[in-house]
Amino acid sequence: MTNDAVVDPSGTQAWKELQEIAVSTANISIRDLLTIDPSRPSAMTYVAGGIHADFSRQRLSPTTLSRLLELARQTGVLTLRDKMFAGEHINSTENRSVLHTALRLPRDATLVVDGVNIVEEVHQVLDRMGDFSNAVRSGAWVGATGKKITDVVNIGIGGSDLGPAMAYLALEDFRDRSISCHFVSNVDPSDVAVVLERLNPETTLFVIASKTFTTLETMTNAGDARRWLVDALGEAAVEKHFVALSTNAQAVSEFGIDTHHMYGFWDWVGGRYSVDSAIGLSTMIAVGPANFGAMLSGFHAIDQHFSHAAPHENLPLMMGLIAVWNRNFLKIPTTAVLPYSQYLSRFPAYLQQLTMESNGKSVRRDGEAVSYDTGAIFWGEPGTNGQHSFYQLLHQGTSTVAADVIVVAKTAHAIGQQQDMLVANALAQAAVLALGRTEMEVAADGTSATLVPHKVMPGNRPVSLFMVEQLDPFTLGALIALYEHAVFVQGAIWGIDSFDQWGVELGKKVALGILADLTKGTAQNPSLDAASLADMNTYLTLR
């Protein structure tokens, strides 16, 4: 483990100043800030990789932003950023480099890590993925009975599912409609069963996606799929219908997939940072290698911006700092992601893993407990649907929720006025969340006195509004990279390891113990607590 010195952010001068600013500006609302300075939107909009990020509805002033930049300086954020890009082992608890940024380096770049130019390796895999994707798309690759592949089933979970599943929906307008992708993740038997029920083994390709190739859910579902195929077409058919995406060649081979049909990646790609690695194979089959390449270019554009733009113009840096401001100084515990795009319907779920598995930590890299809050809770749904569901709480609930509103300007489906309606709703919600409606304004509408308090909208909910021209592969890559780096900035300030996930391990272990008992039909495990044993007994009676 590399034991680099970790700065306690709460001990820095900048942190103390920011605390004072939070107190002294507590009564200044977003409405005030926008009224006092109408040039605020242009001063607080940052553009990179085709993303226009308007932070003018955040509850902070440009002076506060400059203090936040000072916090970044005092906690060494940019030094850690440079170490990440250079391949140093900044994932200290796992003693690994963190190099998802290398996955999108152009072919002619060089990045030598431990004596190897990893860019060459990355492009070798991309080339093999490209050849395979083209073969599947063109029909040059056929199933065991000579038929073209019409259905691709990605079996994976977490980062080996959420990225490809999200990207498949997001890039609907770019995909080959003669091939459908399906995503099986849950160990709930219904997940795999209903997908297989609809498919023909002769025309189905299974993509088994697992960095470790040991994940219980994935290996169980992959086993089910393999049996289903072998029952229908025989053992010899496996080589035409199964490919593996993994770092673990031995486990792939033991599972019964020839490693010639494996697309590899490296331990320096975290699961939640892997949609742009071999894990993206189903996306590449769906949209083609050129579009996948455009997505990588979008990622790279933001990487370049993050590593080279001056701090005060650096979009991911600003976004991460604002998140820290909201979390630690305004004490806002949660962020709603509200994409006004049906195609981004899985983006909030994707971001949940990216943000919460990365920054849901309470111990710093040096093993010391943190004395301040870390990662916010992320969740969300596309607009306008969410407006008819949970926005009531966003507007008038007792908890303040920060919101990321994502707007896509162009649609491929110009039906009547619908696109303008969609965007009008996004802008309206951003305005109402941030500015609210005062008692006087409500009364001035002629509202009866008894209803006035019910119609007052407190506003002052911080909103970031991200606008892109269209949802294409480049933009999707840029959006993902933006969030990746904003997550990095927050973790760097908090001094935590944003790239490990020890918190998910214990549950997996306990589940295995419970499963052993359930298999025997007993509930006796002495290491289990009374509540678990009681619930196991109920289950054994009901199942």
Q: Which residues are catalytic?
A: 357, 388, 508
Cα 250 to its chain centre, rounded Å, is 29
Q: In what order do the strands lie in the sheet with 151-155?
A: 180-184, 151-155, 204-209, 242-246, 262-264
Nearest-angstrom CA–CA distance, 223 and 252: 12
210 makes contact with ligand F6P (CB under 6 A)? yes
- When asked if residue 346 is in the footprint of ligand F6P (CB under 6 A), the reply is no
Subset of 247-276 contacting ligand F6P (CB under 6 A): 271-272
Q: Which residue pairs, CB below 8 angstroms and at least 24 apart, start in 171-175?
A: 171/283, 171/286, 171/287, 171/291, 171/295, 171/343, 171/471, 171/472, 171/473, 171/476, 172/343, 173/343, 173/412, 173/471, 174/287, 174/288, 174/291, 174/472, 174/473, 175/286, 175/287
CB 522 within 8 A of CB 528: no
**Owner of token pair 């303008």:** 420
Please choose, out of 209-217, 333-341, 381-389, 425-433, the segment that lies near ligand F6P by the rule CB under 6 A. Answer: 209-217
Nearer CB in complex with ligand F6P: 211/395: 211
State the minimum distance, in angstroms, from the CB of residue 247 to ligand F6P. 8
Q: How far is the CB of 212 from ligand F6P (least distance, A)?
A: 3
Q: Where are the alpha helices (DSSP H) in 90-248?
A: 118-138, 162-170, 189-197, 216-233, 238-241
Sole window of 11-19, 153-161, 312-320, 339-347 interacting with ligand F6P (rule: CB under 6 A): 153-161
Closest separation between CB of residue 357 and ligand F6P, Å? 6
Least distance from C-beta 163 to ligand F6P, angstroms?
9
How far is residue 348's CA from residue 446's CA, in Å, rounded to a whole number? 39
Burial (CB < 10 A; 0-12, 13-18, 19+), residue 6, is: buried
Does 10 help bind ligand F6P (rule: CB under 6 A)? no
Member of 326, 496, 501, 536 binding ligand F6P (CB under 6 A): 501
Closest by Cα among 270, 276, 274 to 500: 270
Interaction mask 356-395, ligand F6P, x per CB under 6 A? -x--------------------------------------
Residue 221 as a binder of ligand F6P (CB under 6 A): the answer is no
Is residue 160 within the footprint of ligand F6P (CB under 6 A)?
A: yes
Q: How far is the CB of 219 from ligand F6P (least distance, A)?
A: 8
Of these, 9, 76, 87, 159, which contacts ligand F6P (CB under 6 A)? 159
Q: Which residues pair with 151 in a beta bridge?
A: 180, 204
Which of the stretches 8-16, 206-214, 294-302, 459-467 binds ligand F6P when contact is defined by CB under 6 A? Answer: 206-214
Residues numbered 70-89 forming contacts with ligand F6P, rule: CB under 6 A: none
**Chain residues in the site for ligand F6P (CB under 6 A):** 157-160, 210-212, 215, 218, 271-272, 357, 501, 504
